Amino acid sequence: MSVKLTVLFAPINYVGPILASAGMGEVLRDSGHRVIFAVRSEWSQRLKSLSFEVELLAEGSGDGKDDSAAENAEELESVLQNKSPLEKGIECSALLLKDCMVDADKDESALKGIIKRIKPDVIITDHVITLPSVAGSGIPWIFSYSSNPLSLDVGYEDKRLPPSLLGLSINSDQNLWEEYRQQLKESRRENWIKYKEWLVANDCPVLPEECLCWAPSPFANIYMFPEELDYTDVRPLPKTFHRFDYFKRTGDEETFELPDKLKSRSGKLIYLSLGSMGGANVPLMKRLVSILAKSEHRFIISKGVKHNEYELADNMWGERTVPQVKVLSIVSLIITHGGNNTVTETMYFGKPMLVLPLFYDQYDNAQRIDEKGFGIRLNPYECTDEQLLSAIDRLLDDRKLAQKLAKVSHRIRTEKSIEKLTQLVESLAKK
């Protein structure tokens, strides 16, 4: 398409969706289109450094000093503790809808103004609720979902699959599925009533079904998940849904050189990250550090928002954040919370995963990776030293898994499914 389009991204103010949107934005930017982000001020500098234009939703300096990761970790402190997946699912499900509606309401007026002023050709929103300003804009819009696609059921329900957020196998007892599904929906009911009233008051043309969080876009809905892990063999999706293997960032971050502390040691190189919020659980991070200190291997640690509150062992190096895309390319194994960005990026690089889920879709990613034979799922709060250390060695020594992952990585890199995003956006702009 020779015409330069203007594409507006309006993601939720969470690290994962914004980074996923940045990955999509890079593809559109490199195709010659104008990419604009409507975000809070803390993201301004980072997104501008990637050659994106930025429109601020909330007043602020744009100096990057605000810290949504720390704020989100504080709000979700309860679900970062050792509870059952069902307890966390119920708690998180209710809290997420409430918080997202409050935040969206704060930004709604500003977002409407931005849309009116810049007149985008297409809008992409990576969110967990429907935004009236987007759905009612009269502009083609894409609903993007960067979490595990089992949790598409919070907007597009299909009872052929187990309810999301609980880490249930697709082969688990189906007699329990409906019971759990109703518990999750009931946890949202009170906030959903207020949410529906808010949508109606803001003249939103599409409304989610009862106790669900979002309504599919009539134009296009996209999600990221590798083909090898997807659920479409059990639950095919409508033609308006499009899967991409990844929204992988190119790694336009600072360069990364292995610290001398690790260069001088022997052992395989392993990356540990519990995500932007998981690192806020200091007792858990200390627990993992104490176990991994007994390993013969070397560790790069993404320490998280409370990085100053605990120390690393001699076989480790870490900082609050590390350039993940570059680190993934040099390590032999990833120990992860199971966030969807990390899962898809790790599959891109063809590395095995030891998944320690904490909450939300991380349980579903952990279960899917384990049952599909691409890694191991463990309980980070209760696994023994021997269980964690032996799982690491089993994954590192598994040659069949290494070959299997190499084939997946080759397919993903060869097919470059994300490049089809440009075709999708251009086709919508013609409507």
pLDDT, position 248: 65
Residue 321, C-beta contacts closer than 8 angstroms, at least 6 positions apart: 302
CA–CA distance, 131 with 101 (Å, rounded to integer): 9
3-state secondary structure of 40: coil
pLDDT, position 279: 87
Q: Let me know: does 423 contact 244? Beta carbons within 8 Å.
A: no
Q: Which residue numbers in the chain have pLDDT < 50?
A: 60-65
Homologous superfamily (CATH) of 260-414 is Glycogen Phosphorylase B; (3.40.50.2000)
Nearest residue to 154 via CA among 195, 124, 122, 123? 195
What pTM value is reported for the model? 0.93
Q: Let me know: does 321 contact 127? Beta carbons within 8 Å.
A: no
Strands (E), 127-219: 141-145
Residues forming a β-bridge with 8: 36, 123
pLDDT, position 70: 61
6-91+100-248+417-429: CATH class: alpha beta
CA–CA distance, 94 with 102 (Å, rounded to integer): 13
Residue 162, C-beta contacts closer than 8 angstroms, at least 6 positions apart: 150, 168, 169, 170, 172, 174, 177, 180
pLDDT, position 247: 85
pLDDT, position 65: 45
Q: Let me know: does 228 contact 368? Beta carbons within 8 Å.
A: no
CA–CA distance, 252 with 51 (Å, rounded to integer): 10
Residue 107, C-beta contacts closer than 8 angstroms, at least 6 positions apart: 38, 57, 58
In the chain, CATH 3.40.50.2000 sits at 6-91+100-248+417-429, 260-414
CA–CA distance, 98 with 111 (Å, rounded to integer): 19
Q: What's the token pair of residue 85?
A: 């997946």
